[in-house]
Amino acid sequence: MPKAARKTAVPESVPAPAFAERLAQRRDELEWLFMELYDDRAAFQRLLDTMSESSAARPEDLRDLDEAREKDPEWYKRGDMFGMTMYTDLFAGSLNKLADNIPYLKEQKLTYLHLMPLLQMPHPYNDGGYAVEDFDNVDPMFGTNEDLAALTRKLRAAGISLCLDFVMNHTASSHRWAKAAEAGDPEYQDYYFCYDDRTVPDEYDAHVPQVFPNTAPGNFTWNEKMGKWVMTQFYPFQWDLNYRNPKVLVGMLSSVMHLANLGVEVFRLDAVPYIWKEFGTNCRNLPQVHTIVRMLRIVLECVCPAVVLKGEVVMAPKELAAYFGTPDKPECHMLYNVSIMVNLWSALANGDTRLLKAQIDALDALPDNCWFVNYLRCHDDIGWGLDEDEERRLGIDPLKHKKFLYHFYEGAVPGSWAMGELYNYDEASGDARSCGTTASLTGVERAIITHDRPALDTAVDRDLLLHRAMSFLRGFPMLSCGDEIAQLNGWDYKEDPSRIDDSRNLHRSRFDWDKAALRHTPGTLQNRLWEGMESLREMRDDPCFAPDAWVTTWDAHNDAVLAVLRKQGDRVIVGLFNFSGVAQSARLDGSEGVMSAFDAELAPYEARVIVR
């Protein structure tokens, strides 16, 4: 089946002069990895040809960016990095209209913008854009490839790097490869996992956990037209790709390079631990995954070294380091900090920072090349994947604790201030996740409904406490669009038949521009949050937020208080965060060559930075 035409012009006809030099430095390793995995010389040559073609097509301004980033390889680790994630349609409607609102983004001094999936997708069932039917073209509902390229140019001029998701594990069932497979073409059936009967699927199911046991049970779906079972670990309309076939890898890498040439500077690798399947295993975190990610890193370093990789790896800290690779053979530049997000919310509900401190310590113990994007909320749910061994060590029952947390954040626990909903509740296992915006989960919505001004003040303090603690940690902060104006839950999703089945739509609501207009009006809720976010950027302007700063927790001798120390040269700053609704005392011991001992009194939900 012929490849769909890409809707973008080719500005150059020869590879960048530096391409040959970059490739010469890395070719041996790339070839060794590719041949070890596939032993297919012709396929490797196709990859090299594709890399050369992509280098030739790279616009001149992006080549200039490549050169600048090679001289500043840790640009994404600077203290002034400040990110935001959003849905294009919910924020502005289209890529062109989003471009018109760049001044709003510049107001917040953003340096990083993550747009939710916007590549061509089926409608209406597309898993929020994570079912992709064309990795090379923008979905018409957002605009065109030319619109995307124009947006990235304007963002670069504003000092903002664009991040897009790259869904490596699967395609939509309407992708051209899947349609050819469904039509009976054996070549394209080998792009997926297709079986005539249940023998192999049953063997897989014996070892492979289900991703969505309630909403999408099983790992395989029967396709009547093809007369075969096809692997669909996520949803029936998302077909898992077979990376044992080198054509799949080369095709996907080609699309990554194409998007990079449209100006995408960061790729979030969606569900990357799942991409390699091996009989008799749980098909998670297999060695071949790292081989593929390492090859992707090499390819980008040759063709478009300005581009960085952000992995979505929802795993325990001990499993994260592998996704960064090593300093000599790096993989992802950074990862989503899922575990800290979950532990921040847990600490807020409990007023107990012990699990949070233990998780921060585990992450800070990772090698220096490990870097994180820290966040409180995103497009997804809060999955209560806490460290169960640490919970037991602290005398906490993991299942009871999980139930307490998800019931607390749906507002079903006495004394809860939160207003959220459950997602993927499983009665048999007692498992569930939580949905809601930051403001609604911290009590802002309930206080507004009850006209309780003191409760509203406290809710704002909780909201800002979480944002300040998140922003003080190793890595850089990313806001969820709307958090800067305390956007509340969008309960109207229940009135839309196409959205009502997914409670995550509770926090996927249209951006409220009327509320945003109040951001500079003193005394308004929006102004308090807006100025609070400005204080985060001011805090991170300190030299102690340099990439090589030493970051560690410190004993506050009070489980309600999280203490984090940052040291750069002789300068030391300490962040104190009271996760309790009552005033707390903290006592920090001194350490020779670091700081002298001191005591501090903290108001309820207070976050304070102290220079030592």
Which residues are identified as catalytic?
270, 312
Supply the DSSP string of 368-431, one letter for each residue.
TT--EEEES--SS-EE----HHHHHHTT--HHHHHHHHHHHTTT-STT-----EEEEEETTTTE
CA-to-CA separations, 450 to 436, 453, 466, in angstroms, rounded: 18, 9, 23
Tokens of 17: 């002069």
Q: What angle do CA 210, 322, 466 make, to 5 degrees?
A: 75
CA distance 204 to 489: 39
Query: Do 145 and 156 form a contact (C-beta atoms < 8 A)?
Result: no
CA distance 215 to 212: 6
Tokens of 118: 């916007």
Query: Do 377 and 466 form a contact (C-beta atoms < 8 A)?
Result: no
Residue tagged 């090499």 (tokens) = 298
CA distance 376 to 381: 11
Name the packing angle between helices 453-472 and 338-350 (round to 10°).
140
**Residue 297 falls in which region: left (phi positive, over 0), alpha (psi -120 to 50) or beta:** alpha
Q: What angle do CA 180, 131, 259 make, to 5 degrees?
A: 90
State the Rg of the chain over Cα: 24
Name the packing angle between helices 17-38 and 287-303 (round to 10°).
160
Kind of pairing, strands 571-578 and 607-611?
antiparallel
Task: Please count the other Cβ atoms lying within 10 Å of the Cβ belonging to residue 359.
Answer: 24
Query: Do 5 and 136 form a contact (C-beta atoms < 8 A)?
Result: no
Torsion angle in degrees (nearest 10) through CA of 354, 363, 266, 277: -100
CA distance 116 to 469: 25
CA atoms within 13 A of residue 586's CA, in its CB half-sphere: 32
CA-to-CA separations, 554 to 214, 591, 594, 599, 605, in angstroms, rounded: 42, 11, 11, 13, 18
Tokens of 347: 């600490």
Tokens of 299: 């390819």
Query: Do 154 and 201 form a contact (C-beta atoms < 8 A)?
Result: no
Per DSSP, 506 falls in state G
Give start and end residues of each alpha helix (H) in 286-365: 287-303, 317-324, 338-350, 354-364
